[in-house]
């Protein structure tokens, strides 16, 4: 009888050890997958606070659009307001995508927690089931045998305490099982809640994307309206030409200022090196490009450099860059390494970024839906600088890309 009990105990112990080994292997794999991507509810709450702020700012813009003053604005000023609303909607979409990505990580973490809790519950249940089986086979008779086998009164009291300890251990095993089951249920509830909240974010994202399409159509309709206004075209044409010339002057001035600052920095480093080593040496912290440009976004060239018919004004005029057809929100990257010298908005280019690559070469990226870099930022070749949009004087989503060499615009296709 004792041998059978001993074999059963050994079998139960081996089963538990095998279960624990499987759990540990799975836990290791899951830990590797989630160790570098821990997400807290607080991070998601911060993103939601940002979402509320974007919604507040967009309500302010919409209130401005709904006023009589908006109708009295010029078309170019109206387009600026509509652009701002489009940018905010785009930021909302980016925010929603980030929240969904965070929820995706959070759900995997919750699945990991459920796995852990289920493993603890299964192990605790195996222990409890083994103990219940022993109680069914021995039960009260075993306890009485322990007590009646005592050799003295003090021995009997000690045995009674021992039996009481066993009974308390049995009770603790039961309570531990209940606690493990509660923890498993709580983990599963948290997992289901996270999944439900992610589904809500996905549904809201679809609404925002539909809203963005409507806003883009409204902005493009305004641009097309300008085509029918001959007198307005003349004024607007002059404004755009003046704006482009002003931007080029600012680029040239920024390149000269950057070169001056870099030279001062080179001299400072040289003096420091001379004071440390007592000899001359190299220096300079300027970020220069390779001289070979890469395509800033994927898509066909829809309008070439040189004289062309303007899509809005209808007249023949010099096109200072190339237009690359790409969907709204497509990634725009730096064509080469360099330093950002401009990152702003104007009525003609919309959101645009200018990068100085050294050796008198600059590149310009216009009509962006959003900008990812600020002035003074050093960027690497292929690093994101913004997203394709149709801000400014644009009839649809595309990237307007310019290349300047020593202050003069050149055909980008000769450099790509």
pLDDT in tens, 70-82: 888 887 888 889 9
Please tell me the least confidently modeled range out of 18-22, 201-205, 299-303: 18-22
What is the average pLDDT score of the chain?
Answer: 79
Domains present along the chain, CATH in parentheses: 2-224 (no CATH), 237-278+287-414 (2.70.70.10)
Give, to the nearest 10 degrees, the angle between helix 230-277 and helix 153-227: 130
Whether 272 shows a pLDDT value over 70: the answer reads yes
Asked if 103 and 47 count as a contact pair (C-beta separation under 8 A), the reply is no
402 DSSP β-pair partners? 364
331 DSSP β-pair partners? 387
Between 271 and 356, the higher pLDDT residue:
356
Between 50 and 38, the higher pLDDT residue:
50
Query: Alpha carbon of 208 to those of 19, 91, 96, 354, 392: distances in Å?
Result: 48, 10, 9, 30, 21
Please tell me the least confidently modeled range out of 85-99, 221-235, 244-258: 221-235
The DSSP letter of residue 412 is G
DSSP H helices, 138-152, are 139-148
| pLDDT confidence band for 379 (50 / 70 / 90) | very high
Asked if 126 and 15 count as a contact pair (C-beta separation under 8 A), the reply is yes
Whether 250 shows a pLDDT value over 90: the answer reads no
| pLDDT confidence band for 401 (50 / 70 / 90) | very high
Picking from 283, 288, 279, the residue whose alpha carbon sits closest to that of residue 266 is 283
Mean pLDDT, range 79-103, rounded to an integer: 90
Asked if 243 and 235 count as a contact pair (C-beta separation under 8 A), the reply is no
Asked if 336 and 359 count as a contact pair (C-beta separation under 8 A), the reply is no
Asked if 382 and 334 count as a contact pair (C-beta separation under 8 A), the reply is yes
Q: How do the residues of the chain divide into helix, strand and coil, expressed in percent and rounded to 5?
A: 65, 15, 20
Angle at 57 between CA 51 and CA 62, to 5 degrees: 120
Picking from 340, 392, 396, 334, the residue whose alpha carbon sits closest to that of residue 366 is 392
Helix (H) or strand (E) holding 333: strand 331-333
Asked if 321 and 363 count as a contact pair (C-beta separation under 8 A), the reply is no
| 215 contacts: CB under 8 Å, gap ≥ 6 | 82, 85, 86, 89
Provide DSSP, 181-208. HHHHHHHHHHHHHHHHHHHHHHHHHHHH
């Amino acid at each position: 009888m004792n041998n059978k009990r001993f074999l059963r105990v050994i079998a139960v112990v081996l089963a538990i050890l095998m279960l624990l080994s499987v759990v540990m292997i799975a836990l290791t794999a899951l830990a590797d997958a989630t160790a570098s991507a821990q997400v807290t509810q607080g991070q998601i709450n911060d993103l939601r606070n940002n979402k509320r702020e974007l919604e507040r700012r967009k309500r302010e813009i919409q209130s401005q659009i709904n006023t009589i003053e908006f109708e009295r604005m010029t078309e170019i000023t109206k387009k600026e307001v509509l652009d701002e609303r489009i940018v905010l909607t785009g930021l909302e979409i980016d925010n929603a995508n980030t929240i969904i990505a965070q929820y995706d990580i959070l759900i995997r973490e919750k699945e990991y927690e459920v796995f852990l809790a289920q493993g603890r519950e299964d192990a605790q249940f195996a222990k409890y089931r083994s103990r219940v089986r022993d109680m069914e086979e021995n039960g009260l008779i075993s306890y009485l045998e322990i007590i009646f086998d005592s050799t003295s009164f003090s021995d009997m009291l000690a045995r009674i305490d021992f039996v009481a300890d066993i009974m308390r251990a049995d009770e603790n095993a039961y309570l531990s099982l209940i606690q493990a089951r509660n923890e498993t249920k709580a983990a599963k509830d948290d997992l289901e809640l996270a999944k439900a909240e992610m589904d809500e974010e996905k549904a809201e994202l679809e609404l925002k994307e539909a809203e963005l399409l409507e806003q883009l159509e409204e902005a493009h309709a305004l641009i097309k309206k300008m085509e029918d206004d001959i007198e307005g075209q003349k004024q607007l044409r002059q404004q755009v030409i003046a704006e482009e010339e002003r931007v080029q002057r600012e680029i040239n001035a920024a390149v000269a200022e950057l070169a001056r600052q870099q030279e001062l920095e080179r001299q400072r480093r040289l003096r420091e090196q001379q004071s440390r080593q007592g000899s001359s040496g190299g220096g300079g912290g300027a970020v220069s490009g390779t001289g070979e440009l890469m395509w800033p976004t994927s898509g066909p060239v829809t309008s070439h450099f040189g004289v062309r018919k303007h899509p809005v004004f209808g007249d023949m005029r010099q096109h200072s860059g190339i237009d690359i057809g790409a969907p709204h929100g497509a990634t725009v990257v730096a064509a080469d390494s360099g330093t950002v010298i401009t990152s702003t908005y104007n009525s003609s280019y919309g959101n645009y970024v200018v990068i100085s690559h050294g050796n008198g070469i600059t590149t310009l990226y216009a009509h962006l839906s959003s900008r990812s870099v600020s002035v003074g930022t050093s960027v690497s070749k292929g690093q994101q600088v913004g997203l394709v949009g149709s801000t400014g004087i644009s009839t649809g989503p595309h990237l307007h890309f310019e290349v300047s060499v020593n202050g003069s615009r050149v055909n980008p296709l000769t450099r790509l």
